Amino acid sequence: MSKRIDVKNLDIYYSDFLAVKDVSVTIEPRSVTALIGPSGCGKSTFLRSLNRMHEVIPGARVEGEVIIDGENLYGKGIDPVMVRRKVGMVFQKPNPFPTMSIKENVLAGVKLNNKRIGRTDADELVETSLRGANLWNEVKDRLDKPGSSLSGGQQQRLCIARTIAVKPEVVLMDEPCSALDPISTLAVEDLIAELKENYTIVIVTHNMQQAARCSDRTGFFNIEGTGKPGQLVEFNDTQTIFNTPSEKATEDYISGRFG
């Protein structure tokens, strides 16, 4: 179910502004890849280009290739809707649909694209997805309550359940814990460790301890100055990045000398 992502010479533009320059990287399946770097350096933009979500912003475009499963996401005739079904995304702030119950939230993606699902299958999927997101025991007695009645951490795990319910191959996470308290953060981090058994996970984080704790490989993005494009400075095993980084900028950043 999980797939390798090959990014080749990716440039990302907002209209004429080059936001991220020349990223080439290979993201291994069944692993957690963390992207770290100072604010505004293009980590999120890069992450969103992996499922074509950055296109939501008018004028955004890319040059280069993102290849998943032998297919270029930016190739001719590729439907972004289908891309996003394969590459799911969890956002910075928990965003369950407020007009839906917990159960409806989990099934929200499954019912798209005219797919129908039987009652028993739906119940089963809700349970496996919520169990997969470590949320089942907390919500099993109130599946019909609104998703917004949960705590922030529970909402974020509900969003993860919603994402994995459509059975994607890759799960992108854009600072999934930045709006959560330490306990909820821990719950989500534990969950990430479990999810990597089945999914390729790419996570953007501002929290370097988090990157060190839960990722296998880490990429460091940096920006030379305002108005300059962000670049992937260094990409390596997390151990190597945090212990013996080869770039000065990486070392400065992780040791807290800037950023």
Partner 1 sequence: MSTTTAVDPTKTSSLRSGRRFGDAIFSALSHSAGIVILLVLIGVTFFLFWGAKDALVADGSEVRGGAGLIAYIGPLIFGTLLSSIIALLIAVPLSIGIALFISHYAPRRLASGLGYVVDLLAAVPSIIFGLWGMQIAGSAVPSFEFLNEYLGFIPLFSGTVTTTGRTMLMIGIVLAIMILPIMTAVNREVFLQTPRLHEEASLALGATRWEMIRQTVIPFGKSGVVSGAMLGLGRALGETMAVAIILSASGGGYSWELLSANTPGTIAGDIALNFPESFGVERSTLFVSGLALFVVTFLVNMFARWIISRRSEFSGAN
The residues binding partner 1 (CB under 8 A) are 51, 53, 56, 58, 81-82, 84-85, 88-89, 91, 93, 95-101, 108-109, 112-113, 146, 148-149, 159, 162-163, 166
Q: Which amino acid is at 49?
A: S
A 10 A CB-CB count for 118 gives 8
The first and second tokens of residue 23, run together, are: 């990223």
| CA-based radius of gyration for the chain | 18
Measure the CA–CA gap between 138 and 122, rounded to whole angstroms.
19
Nearest distance in Å: CB 43, partner 1:
17
Nearest distance in Å: CB 47, partner 1:
11
The first and second tokens of residue 41, run together, are: 């350096």
Nearest distance in Å: CB 79, partner 1:
9
Q: CB-wise, 10 or 170, nearer to partner 1?
A: 170
Q: Which amino acid is at 231?
A: Q
> In the chain, how many H helices and how many E strands?
10, 10
Measure the CA–CA gap between 170 and 225, rounded to whole angstroms.
32
Nearest distance in Å: CB 186, partner 1:
24
Best CA proximity match to 237, nearest among 27, 10, 7: 27
Nearest distance in Å: CB 258, partner 1:
30
Under 8 Å between Cβ of 89 and 53 = yes
Q: CB-wise, 87 or 208, nearer to partner 1?
A: 87
